[in-house]
Amino acid sequence: MRACPTSCTAVKQQFSTCSRKPKDVNQMTRGNPCQLPGMLPNYDPNDSEAGMKILEDLTENVEQIQQRVLEEIITRNARTDYLKGFLDGEFDKQVFKKTVPVVNYEDIKPYIERIANGDSSNIISAEPIIELLTSSGTSGGQPKMMPSTAEDLHRKTFFYNLLVPVMNKYVDGLDEGKAMYLLFVKPETKTPSGLMARPVLTSYYKSNNFKNRPFNRFNVYTSPDETILCSDSKQSMYCQLLCGLVQRQEVLRVGAVFASAFLRAIKFLEHNWKELCSNIRTGHVSDWITDPGCRKVVSLVLNKPKPELADLIEHECNSKSWEGIIKKLWPRTKYIEVIVTGSMAQYVSTLEYYSGGLPLVSTMYASSECYFGINFKPLSKPWDVSYTLIPNMAYFEFLPVKKKNEDGAQYVQCNGVCKENCMEKETEKEDVETVELVDVKLGQYYELVVTTFTGLYRYRVGDILMVTGFHNKAPQFRFVHRRNVVLSVDTDKTSEEDLLKAVTKAKVIVESLGILLIEYTSYADTSSIPGHYVLFWEITSKGNNHLPVLDHKIMEQCCSTVEESLDSVYRRCRRKDNSIGPLEIRVVQHGTFDALMDFCVSQGSSVNQYKTPRCIKSGEAINILDSRVVARFFSQKAPFWEPV
């Protein structure tokens, strides 16, 4: 979720009617009226000490700030159609918690759809909703859409600004060079009412908060904005890498938002380094870079022929092994900034291979609904990363999640190994009481529920978090997993149900030929970049237990059908972003799934409760399946996708 921190100009403007400038968060929590619109204290983001002080104050005064955040949200929005139905126009926390239900997307979808179709946004938010943020969660195959307001951009800016002092605390001299952050915008569309619908980062990068950000010496990028904002992802990637290579001696850190995007850039470099070097050698950018903004700024960065630099880069890229290539190409790099928690953890070993041992830094935890938390120990190992929720971002509540019996069905369900993310029983019912941010308990698992400044009230985000400690009074959370997600390669999030629906459609094809699909499971194969979905299928001829003769064309059609049936984010990643490779079906020999069951039982699963895991993460289990593969088929065409 990385973007450039900007100054608080906008925030200052927000308080421009106020003559008293706030000095610390205590003022805010003590009821300084100047602080109320948005609860954002003001400071100079170039001033790291001031930034740290803000963070200390925020984390010291969690309870008061949360109380004020809720009061502010309710007071502003009590007369919206949505809240009016539950509250009598007044702020009362107890009434709020008693009467406003904890909801899922399906509950608020009718309101979002009304707004998308032209109803006034004050049905959920007093502050006008200026756009809808398309999240990677889906509902009925379409991306979920989260409301966003102009004011919320300032909240995000405030949040980004806070990342700077945290990094400065651990790494010196970040103002003595540049950051090669590879940032991209995604396609956007308009709703019938003319509201923009786009991913949260695209919204932020295209905002004035990003484009008109004042200079911050700790955050100078190698990528000119024109290259980040270029809608052609190939040209954007090429130009950003070119600029990063030309300025290689100045680069102090490299990164992208998610690990998958950064690795995609490394792959792109592997395929294009010769051409990039030729551009550096001649001082001319390739003709296929036709985006006028990109051409102009990249030509300025290239400036003149640099044959020696081209030789040097060519020499490094030409070496047989690309182990440690990042350190070789960008020798002053101190760390790689990419999110490697959650589903991105699968990329840690590949990143370590390319990085030559550089720290992997996950700075923040955020979503389309709201920006949540900051990693206060950015140099900690990926598996030790915790995020401290920032209490003025939203009102946070937590649904307790019970741990499952170690040999319960859920445990077996995922992968037959003792993985942390298989051990909880999620809270199904809304009647379970939520816990407040200050009341969460160390070691406990919770599902995050947010009430935002943008019109979401007691909304279940779907993320399961575990409390790992406290910074002052603010709890810190490890991201455990996302509810219901079994497969993820990039920003796609495929649930067991999505997978079942897609497989069901594909199996109709083979059934019409007298072939039965007896069992299936899946895994995300990220051993090569881009990663791809693999389905293991055990099939048989109707009427006997023999493996049927498999027609390549038919099986490839099955692969395509599964892809066509997966959600819009999957199809965008696959077709537009090329961040997911063609889906593969591996047909396994008869009896393979019995062997899988034996394995799971040997690992502690109860035979009685055994259900075939629909997604496999254990290397051993994958080996059991892989050693019995008799044929492999790949999808031959990218699925249909258009912005929705």
Positions in the binding site for ligand AMP (CB under 6 A)? 1, 135-137, 200, 339, 341-342, 362, 365-368, 461, 463, 479, 482, 491
Going by C-beta distance under 8 Å and a sequence separation of 6 or more, which residues neighbour residue 8?
A: 40, 42, 43, 44, 45, 157, 158, 161
Range list of β-strands (E), 109-250: 129-139, 142-149, 178-182, 189-190, 196-198
Residue with Cβ nearer ligand AMP (266 or 461): 461
Q: Which 8-state DSSP code applies to residue 617?
A: -
Separation in Å, CA 147 to CA 55, 112, 372: 27, 8, 16
Q: In angstroms, what is the minimal distance from the CB of 59 to ligand AMP?
A: 18
Rounded Cα distance between 202 and 616, Å, is 33
Q: In angstroms, what is the minimal distance from the CB of 362 to ligand AMP?
A: 5
Q: In angstroms, what is the minimal distance from the CB of 257 to ligand AMP?
A: 9
Residue with Cβ nearer ligand AMP (143 or 244): 143
Q: In angstroms, what is the minimal distance from the CB of 351 to ligand AMP?
A: 15
Place of tokens 């060519």: 314
Q: In angstroms, what is the minimal distance from the CB of 189 to ligand AMP?
A: 16
Q: In angstroms, what is the minimal distance from the CB of 479 to ligand AMP?
A: 4
Residue with Cβ nearer ligand AMP (340 or 585): 340
Q: What tokens were used for 310?
A: 């081209």
Residue with Cβ nearer ligand AMP (145 or 310): 145
Separation in Å, CA 274 to CA 181, 286, 314, 388, 479: 22, 12, 7, 43, 40
Is there a contact between 453 and 38 (Cβ–Cβ < 8 Å)? yes
Rounded Cα distance between 493 and 152, Å, is 25
Q: Is 380 exposed, middle or buried (0-12, 13-18, 19+ CB in 10 A)?
A: middle
To 10 degrees, what angle do helices 307-317 and 233-246 make? 110
Q: In angstroms, what is the minimal distance from the CB of 211 to ligand AMP?
A: 21
Residue nearest to ligand AMP (CB): 342
Residue with Cβ nearer ligand AMP (87 or 183): 183
Q: In angstroms, what is the minimal distance from the CB of 553 to ligand AMP?
A: 36
Is there a contact between 530 and 489 (Cβ–Cβ < 8 Å)? yes
Residue with Cβ nearer ligand AMP (35 or 368): 368
Residue with Cβ nearer ligand AMP (24 or 492): 492
Residue with Cβ nearer ligand AMP (371 or 523): 371
Rounded Cα distance between 532 and 517, Å, is 21
Residue with Cβ nearer ligand AMP (145 or 588): 145
Rounded Cα distance between 480 and 465, Å, is 5
Q: In angstroms, what is the minimal distance from the CB of 98 to ligand AMP?
A: 27
Q: In angstroms, what is the minimal distance from the CB of 298 to ligand AMP?
A: 30
Residue with Cβ nearer ligand AMP (306 or 478): 478
Residue with Cβ nearer ligand AMP (482 or 574): 482
Q: In angstroms, what is the minimal distance from the CB of 463 to ligand AMP?
A: 5
Instruction: Write the DSSP assignment of 390-450 as a string of letters.
Output: PTTSSEEEEEEEEEPPTTSHHHHHHHSS--GGGSEE----TTSPPEEGGG--TT-EEEEEE
| Chain center to CA of 362 | 11
Going by C-beta distance under 8 Å and a sequence separation of 6 or more, which residues neighbour residue 31?
A: 68
In SS3 terms, 284-305 reads as CCCCCCCCHHHHHHHHHHHCCC
Going by C-beta distance under 8 Å and a sequence separation of 6 or more, which residues neighbour residue 273?
A: 313, 314, 317
Residue with Cβ nearer ligand AMP (240 or 341): 341
Evaluated on CA atoms 333, 337, 341, 347, the torsion sign reads negative
Q: In angstroms, what is the minimal distance from the CB of 482 to ligand AMP?
A: 4
